[in-house]
Structure 1
Amino acid sequence: MGFDKKLENLAVKLFEINAVKFGEFVMKSGLTTPVYFDLRVIVSYPEVLDLISSLLYEFSVKSSSCDHLCGVPYTALPIATLLSVLAKKPMLMRRKEAKAYGTKKLIEGHFKAGQTVLIVEDVVTSGGSVLETVNDIRKEGLVAEEAVVIVDRQQGGVKNLEANNVHVKSLFTISSLLEIFVKHGKVTKETAEKVKEYLKNNQAVKEPTVADAPVDRTKLTYEKREKLANNPIAKKLFNIMATKKSNLCLSVDLTSTSKILDLLTRVGEHICLVKTHVDIIEDFSESFVTQLKQLADRFGFLILEDRKFADIGNTVSLQYSKGLYKIGDWADCVTVHSLPGEGVLKAISASVNGVSKGVFLLAEMSSEGNLITPDYIEQTVKVAAKYPELMTGFVCQNKKTFSDPGLIQLTPGVQLQSSGDGLGQVYNTPEKIILENGADIAVVGRGIVAAKNPEAQVVIYRDALWKAYAERVGAK
């Protein structure tokens, strides 16, 4: 019997022994969920334990070069024990509390500092239990950068773990289990969709911590952060930046389509993103959109329409998908104000109809004297957390605005020398924007658009911004 068929059989058995339950349950993380995994019952089913351990061995442990295995207490302990025997690798045991006598150890077993440990867990929701085990293991001088789990609930746990240098492999995701259950008539399609929608809107928004220190997203490479992103546009942008070695967004604030297309033909190879203001274009046409998309494909950049949606949900939905511009048809991502509340994100989320699109939410502005307050910024970040698959990132000026490494900080107001334009716009240098302010992508407009030689100027900006990023993450 092949691996996939065994995996399918295991899923059915887990349902039949009531290790997977549907209803309304409160998780350890505090989240309410319509699906609950009680894998503690597997200890009463030797054939299920044997199947789980053999699949985990083939799936991950067999190819791992780890020195030790360690199960997260308590459900994963019997699984880790069987895997230790199968792999002939020594096992370590982590206590939830240190003994008050004897050695008072949290980690039991024979080991040497520097040796590697593969963590074994049953279910990952927020990743908190795995991180607790990782923390204690690392305190002993051991290396813990791998984890294998039975089920990933797809609620943010894997993302938190990846942000803390723990790579996770899972036998199942919620989505894959639901597909099997529907196929075998265990649950209806309606129930499966209800569970998916619920979990999508109820992410475990937990600050990832290891050794009591939050991850600093600005120290992670774009390649690393691509794996942590939920939004497909954010993933594409991280990949484009890493591949092209460019974190430069060009703002083409021009009123002529021919001038915009001509400029992008000359500088497109050097940018990761182009920012448009479609409502200032005097000769907008469908032909322009076609040519713009062709240039984006040719040079490998994405399109951001800086529309700054800020109306009630129904109006925003129409502005996004209807009218003269039909922005949703061609823009990869758009900018949005959080001022109207959650409804503006609901509207765009409903309008994309499953197509890969993204939103940059305005948390701060670069204009002097703007009315945005610290409380407004905090509430903006909280609203964004409810739409992880839609959020590409934030438009902001401060690296402390948000911590999620899977989101992108887009910062406007960049020139080679700090200055102002007399109309309230404040400009900062590439070094300050990237190193101090924490920008992932810097927006440059007039510094390139108005230059006598845009081709030469775009290279200067691209190189200065990339050099600052490389310094920030310690890249060679």
Structure 2
Amino acid sequence: MESQHELEELAIKLYNIDAIKFGDFITKTGLKTPVYFDLRVIVSYPDVMELISTLLHVTAIKGKDFDHLCGVPYTALPIATLLSVQVKKSMLLRRKEAKSYGTKKMIEGHYKVGETCLIIEDVITSGSSVLETTQDLRKEGLKVNEAVIILDREQGGSENLARHEVQVKSLFTMTNLIEILVKHNKINIDTANNVHSYIKETHAPKIVKTQDRVLLSYEKRAELASNAVAKRLLTIMATKKTNLCLSVDLTSASNILDVLEKVGEHICLVKTHVDIIEDFTTDFISSLKSLAKRFNFLILEDRKYADIGNTVALQYLKGIYKVAEWADCVTVHSLPGEGIIKAIASCNGVNSQGIFLIAEMSSEGNLITGDYINETVKIAEKYSSLLTGFVCQNRDTFKNPGLIQLTPGVQLESSKDNFGQIYNTPEKVMLEKGADVVVVGRGIIAAKSPETEVIKYKEALWKNYMKRVSGKME
């Protein structure tokens, strides 16, 4: 067979350019190995690059139906580029880290939700690099079910990827590559036997499939939630069939109550800024709690606490507002550190605390960085039973399905206001950004008929939630 002859030719060339080394090495996954594949050197050998791309095309890609190619960064990128040109298919680029400026995207290129992407990789051991790329592509709504690779080390990578619905097609397995090198007298039988024994005895760690929170129903996530307020909110959402949070940024207590009287049956949460109410009284709080009970929604005071622990505890419990007595949950910045979580949790006389930790903001030019987000999530991991969820803009900010993503900045049509507030559509915020509860304010409260507009938002958001959990993202 011509392809077999070319495969043997490629194996010999890889050996001759030192892309295959024998000795004592450590793999990326921490495994000791008597053979190491350094395919980064192929960029210096155009004839090897051309042969690899041709063989991948002929033996693994020809006849496949897909829309895009994506090379796992970084070694596979030049091969993916050549293949893209050969097969006349669009190529996508996956960043290892999101940009801290501009679009902050992980995936670069033009694509549509529901399109299919084929992954290109050089070598798999555990399959973790392919899986990371797969997950980032899937987060964008792309279908990823196949990976084409140069070498399968036969140490569990293919099995790990199969558990995540990714099938692997390789040019070489470790076994047949070693057989070719023995056949052409590049290595001796002892070296080959050493490698065969190693393959048989040494396997990469299993990568267990985790539950993608955005594909789980609210009912299922209520079972997984460890925070009492998160459990209640998810249950309300499932029961009322709404994931809409109304932001009542009004300065009149009577106006707030009037709006809630009209729209309360259609929301799961109301978000208040109590300190902007000009005629605040304890009667307002009594009426607000009565409406919440009658229409079965929770109350979020968007206080955005950001002081030292002792001060925050006083702000939460004391003063004229006494937030702890009526708010089911509050928003909190992670800037002061984990002490702010401890402070709220330590407040006596409060039945249960709900805390939304602010990980991202929707305002243009905000100063939150990727590192800040990562540190915020680390704090949350330590206090998951105290947290209801995160205020954030992206589905990959956190994984825990028992926590809730609260996303502000939504209107029926994308837009931006005069103060840099960026608005997303219900479809984008649910399918692409992974929101669980969506905050809408002026789109409803400034409408001529809030009771009519709230239904439009409720139905649009729920429709996209149902599409998301069904897995039908097209």
TM bracket, shorter-chain basis: 0.5 to 0.7
Gapped regions of structure 1 (runs ≥ 5): 1-134, 140-208
Counting only pairs closer than 5 Å after superposition, residues 274-313 of structure 1 correspond to structure 2 as: 274-313=270-309
- Report the Cα distance in structure 2 between the residues aligned to 1:396 and 1:432, rounded to whole angstroms: 14
Report the residue type matching 1:240 in the other structure.
Answer: I
Report the residue type matching 2:317 in the other structure.
Answer: S
2:248 is equivalent to residue 256 of structure 1: no
Q: Match for residue 389 of structure 1? A: 385
Q: Match for residue 466 of structure 2? A: 470
Secondary structure of the corresponding residue to residue 372 of structure 2: helix
Counting only pairs closer than 5 Å after superposition, residues 150-165 of structure 1 correspond to structure 2 as: none
Q: Match for residue 317 of structure 1? A: 313
Q: CA RMSD in A?
A: 2.1
- Highest CA radius of gyration, 1 or 2? 2
Report the residue type matching 1:402 in the other structure.
Answer: F
Shift of 1:385: 1.4
2:220 to 224, 233, 243: 224
Counting only pairs closer than 5 Å after superposition, residues 138-177 of structure 1 correspond to structure 2 as: none
Shift of 1:213: 3.1
Change over 3 Å in CA distance of 1:475–1:456 after alignment to 2:
farther
2:434 is equivalent to residue 438 of structure 1: yes
Secondary structure of the corresponding residue to residue 383 of structure 2: coil
Contact preservation (8 Å) 2:363, 2:422? yes
Contact preservation (8 Å) 2:243, 2:438? yes
2:360 to 361, 364, 368: 364
Secondary structure of the corresponding residue to residue 410 of structure 1: strand
1:375 to 371, 377, 388: 371
2:395 is equivalent to residue 399 of structure 1: yes
Contact preservation (8 Å) 1:237, 1:302? yes
Report the residue type matching 2:438 in the other structure.
Answer: A
Report the residue type matching 2:293 in the other structure.
Answer: D
- Length-normalised TM-score, structure 1: 0.56
- Report the Cα distance in structure 1 between the residues aligned to 2:335 and 2:284, rounded to whole angstroms: 31
Counting only pairs closer than 5 Å after superposition, residues 176-255 of structure 1 correspond to structure 2 as: 212-255=208-251
Secondary structure of the corresponding residue to residue 346 of structure 2: helix
- Report the Cα distance in structure 2 between the residues aligned to 1:449 and 1:228, rounded to whole angstroms: 34
2:415 is equivalent to residue 419 of structure 1: yes
Secondary structure of the corresponding residue to residue 249 of structure 2: coil
Change over 3 Å in CA distance of 1:358–1:394 after alignment to 2:
same
Secondary structure of the corresponding residue to residue 303 of structure 1: strand
Q: Residue by residue, what CA displacement relative to the aligned partner does 1:53-76 show, whole Å, maximum 9, x if unpaired?
A: xxxxxxxxxxxxxxxxxxxxxxxx
Q: Residue by residue, what CA displacement relative to the aligned partner does 1:247-289 show, whole Å, maximum 9, x if unpaired?
A: 0000000000000000000000000000000010001111000
- Report the Cα distance in structure 2 between the residues aligned to 1:320 and 1:307, rounded to whole angstroms: 9
Q: Match for residue 205 of structure 1? A: none
Counting only pairs closer than 5 Å after superposition, residues 83-122 of structure 1 correspond to structure 2 as: none
Change over 3 Å in CA distance of 1:241–1:352 after alignment to 2:
farther
Shift of 1:304: 0.1
Q: Residue by residue, what CA displacement relative to the aligned partner does 1:69-91 show, whole Å, maximum 9, x if unpaired?
A: xxxxxxxxxxxxxxxxxxxxxxx
2:337 is equivalent to residue 341 of structure 1: yes
Shift of 1:384: 1.1
Change over 3 Å in CA distance of 1:352–1:405 after alignment to 2:
farther
- Report the Cα distance in structure 2 between the residues aligned to 1:437 and 1:414, rounded to whole angstroms: 11
- Length-normalised TM-score, structure 2: 0.56
- Report the Cα distance in structure 2 between the residues aligned to 1:311 and 1:414, rounded to whole angstroms: 29
- Report the Cα distance in structure 2 between the residues aligned to 1:211 and 1:254, rounded to whole angstroms: 50
Report the residue type matching 1:284 in the other structure.
Answer: F
Identity across matched positions, percent: 67
Report the residue type matching 1:288 in the other structure.
Answer: F
Change over 3 Å in CA distance of 1:407–1:210 after alignment to 2:
farther
